[in-house]
Amino acid sequence: MTISIERLLRITAVRTPGFEPRYGCLSPFNKDDALGVLAQVQKKHPIGLMVLESEIAGCEAAGRTLINGVKLKMIAHGLNQASADALALLVWREVCGSLRCQSCNGVGERYSKRYRTLNECQACCGTGKTILTPKNLAKDFSVLVGEKVTSKAFNKRYYKLYINAVDQLHKCESDAAMYAASILRMIALQDVVTTR
């Protein structure tokens, strides 16, 4: 029995009322098992689990908690309330939000009618996600704050705080995912041993 982290989080999501356990193995993995795994991950990596819940399961409460936590961290670094709110929202949007590329609609490829070929999208470099440049970030930040902030001013004042917060959340997410995967591997190994 193997189960992915995405499946683990979707099993326990509120919007998934009818989860049926898998009966192809000796011990079916059910919602209670998933909650047990998530409880272990939450104990060791609470922030990483919130990132995973917000990103994969679409948990709005986890997203709000992350945004508030980042905002408090930004205020501690000397930002005013409006700047901290805007930067926290931008950080959450990059880490957990869906930034689908507008040019290729998240596919990563574009069809050329003229040459009848499928080419990598130049706007997102084939990732399917919008690449956030400092220029784009400064523009979005200006809209959220309500005053004009140039790309140069954003880079000088906010970019280092922004990228450090993004990196920190990605690291927390990675640590939580690796820990959850190790627990799931132990469960799968236990199933293999008990079936022999």
What is the mean predicted confidence (pLDDT) over 138-160? 94
Q: What is the pLDDT of residues 77-107, one digit of tens each?
A: 999 999 999 999 999 999 988 778 888 888 8
Is 28 within a domain? no
Give the pLDDT confidence score for residue 51 in this predicted structure: 93
Looking at residue 17, what is its pLDDT? 43
pLDDT attached to residue 33: 82
How many structural domains does the chain have?
1
Q: In angstroms, how far is CA 155 from the centroid of its own chain?
A: 24
Q: How far apart are CA 56 and CA 37, in angstroms?
A: 16
Percent of the chain at pLDDT > 70 equals 87
The verdict on residue 88 lying in a domain is yes
Residue 13 lies in a domain: no
Assigned domain for 114 exists: no
Average pLDDT of the chain, as a whole number = 85
**Within a domain: 172:** yes
Return all residues near 48 (Cβ < 8 A) that are at least 6 apart: 41, 172, 173, 174, 175, 176, 177, 179
83: in domain: yes
In sequence order, what are the beta bridge partners of 117?
A: 112
2 within a domain of the structure (yes/no): no
pLDDT category of residue 115 using cuts at 50, 70 and 90: confident
Which amino acid belongs to residue 140?
A: D
Residue 17 lies in a domain: no
Q: How far apart are CA 141 and CA 136, in angstroms?
A: 8
pTM score above 0.85: no
Domain that holds residue 55: 40-97+133-195
